[in-house]
Chain A
Amino acid sequence: MTKSSHQPAVNRFVAIGLFRFVIWYAAVYPVVVAGITIGLRFVNEGGDENLWRNLTIAPVYYLVACGVVAVATLLPMIVAHGGTRRAFSRAAAPMFAGLSVITGLYVLALIGFDALVSSIFGWEPTVSGVVELASVGDRVELFLDTMLAGLCALATGWLAGIVWQSAVFRRRLGWIPATLLMVPCAIPIVAAEIVLHRPPFGADFADALDLDLGVAGGAIAALAIGAASLALAAYLTRDVIVGGRASPA
């Protein structure tokens, strides 16, 4: 048994675990939102306030949960079955990167779905009230924004999972202090929202801070935040405790 022979099994395990966690969401989310939106449209008789406005937000924040789940469920099982924390990190980091790319593409597909639903009912595609999608460049920018915010959301989830795992299993802290400790883990996604000027709050914060890095500058900054956060999460994962009965407490 060598390191290289166990890594593919860990890679497959992480990939399948993440796939199972995201696939139902990816399938159900647009259907539920479409259903609610159509219902609200009929109730409000054509009002333009609807859930499609959050199209670019919810899938990104779902990735926070995805990162937590990876640490809370996949990592313990990998370690319990003879894998190392390093093997988990080696599997998780590139798969998180891939998942963020897929999320960027998914959001573009959702906008297409929004356009389809809107055309059926003769409405204007309402997501354009939140993001500008007049050109191919706008779509590329939306893809990049979503992908990079998604990467930082995954890093936030990974960090939060580690903090929770450590705080709870060290048994020094209850769940309330453990939850409070997770707040700083939100820094990557909050910072990414700001540098990317993402609606709703990132753009407001950036304006308040008078911060405008431009499209390329924002993307580079968000990429750096995501990469640094993932590296930090992988570093912290080296010593994370798994399992709950190792303490005599």
Chain B
Amino acid sequence: MSAALEVRDLRMRFGAQAAIDGISFRLEPGRIHGLLGRNGAGKTTLLSLVASLRRPTSGSIRIDGVDPFGIAAAAAKVCLVPSGPELSGGLRVRAALKAAAALRPNWDAALAERLVGRFALPMKKTIASLSRGQRSAVGIVIGLASRAELTMFDEAYLGLDAPSRYAFYEELLQDYMAHPRTIVLSTHLIEEVGDLFEDVLILKDGRVLLQENAEQLRSRGAALVGPADKVDAVVAGLNVVGSRSLGPTKSVTVYGNAIDGLHRRAGEAGLQVAPVPLQDLFVHLTEPGAAS
């Protein structure tokens, strides 16, 4: 019950602006993918294209090899939980869930009911009248209970308080374990959600900056702190993506395949190498002017 997503040379232009600028990638089925990017990187546009909300300017999107835009068999596999209520804001919560139940072939009514209780959602209120966090919770209920083969959450946690966000992560993981499927999490809360990612896709300015297994990505980054001259000597020749100095002390973040010998060289220089949190790595990699 997992769908593979394949994108080829995808472009989406809004007038002169390219929101998606010729990207190609493949998301393996049955995994949790983190979709990362700064504001305006093209994440929401990409997800809306995959969900067939609009046609791309050019390029192709395939769900298990089939174009989801016009083919029901592929479209039915996709569920996008947007960050806003724009598609069903005028509906009451009960009506929105009924609509999802009517149209989603794998709808799990028991799970939906349990999640409604867990997030304490008022069934009789319209979605537009709910608080930001409650609206997000409605999206989460629909996204999880739909059990779509490709489920995409576009910053689905917005406005949720910390306990509710952790409840979402817990429910997501539980349901994913019980019913494996392809999940895409578009998020800015990388530190909080990062542990869920199995693969990471980072967009920058409408292009794919990198796509990598999350563990491999983490292993390619390292942080080094110490006297500036020693640090400079150890990281010489490596891809330094971040650097800060405080008096004689320097802190650098390096990224790339060539850091294998870093631990040995750092040990010889009396320096400690620390892992780089995914969020820090993301910040360094997506900084304006950072090397791709």
Contacts and interface: CB of A to CB of B under 8 A. Distances in A.
Interface of A: 1-3, 5-7, 9-10, 12-13, 16, 73, 76-87, 169, 171-172, 238-239, 241-249
Interface in B1-58: 14-15, 17, 19, 40, 42, 44-45, 48-49, 51-55
B104 A246 contact: no
A84 B69 contact: yes
A77 B87 contact: yes
A73 B91 CA distance: 10
A12 B102 contact: yes
A217 B75 CA distance: 43
Given A77-B87, A77-B88, A84-B71, A245 B82 contact: yes
Contacts of B52: 79, 84
Contacts of B15: 172
A94 B82 CA distance: 31
B27 to A, nearest CB: 17
Interface of B: 14-15, 17, 19, 40, 42, 44-45, 48-49, 51-55, 69-73, 75-80, 82-84, 86-88, 90, 99-100, 102-105, 146, 148
Given A10-B103, A80-B53, A82-B76, 12 more contacts: A9-B102, A13-B102, A13-B103, A80-B51, A82-B72, A82-B79, A82-B103, A83-B76, A84-B69, A86-B70, A245-B84, A248-B19
Nearest to A240: B54
B83 A249 contact: no
**8 tightest Cβ-Cβ pairs between the two chains A and B:** A246-B48, A81-B103, A82-B76, A3-B72, A243-B53, A241-B54, A244-B86, A1-B76
B54 A246 contact: yes
B80 A80 contact: yes
B171 to A, nearest CB: 20
Contacts of A79: 51-53, 75
A245 B86 contact: yes
A249 B14 contact: yes
Of A3, A16, A82, A171, most B-chain CB atoms within 10 Å: A82
13 contacts: A6-B73, A79-B52, A79-B75, A82-B104, A83-B76, A169-B54, A171-B14, A243-B53, A246-B45, A247-B19, A248-B40, A248-B42, A248-B45
A249 B14 CA distance: 8
Contacts of A12: 102
Given A73-B90, A246-B53, A84 B105 contact: no
A245 B78 contact: no
B40 A1 contact: no
B40 A76 contact: no
A16 to B, nearest CB: 8
A9 B44 contact: no
A76 to B, nearest CB: 5
A83 B75 CA distance: 6
A72 B43 CA distance: 25
B45 A1 contact: no
Contacts of A249: 14
B72 A83 contact: yes
Of A13, A16, A80, most B-chain CB atoms within 10 Å: A80
Contacts of B84: 244-245
A214 to B, nearest CB: 42
B70 A238 contact: yes
Nearest to A17: B99
Nearest to B18: A248
A2 B55 CA distance: 22
A3 B71 contact: yes
Nearest to B154: A245
Nearest to A1: B76
Nearest to B149: A1
A9 B99 CA distance: 10
B87 A7 contact: no
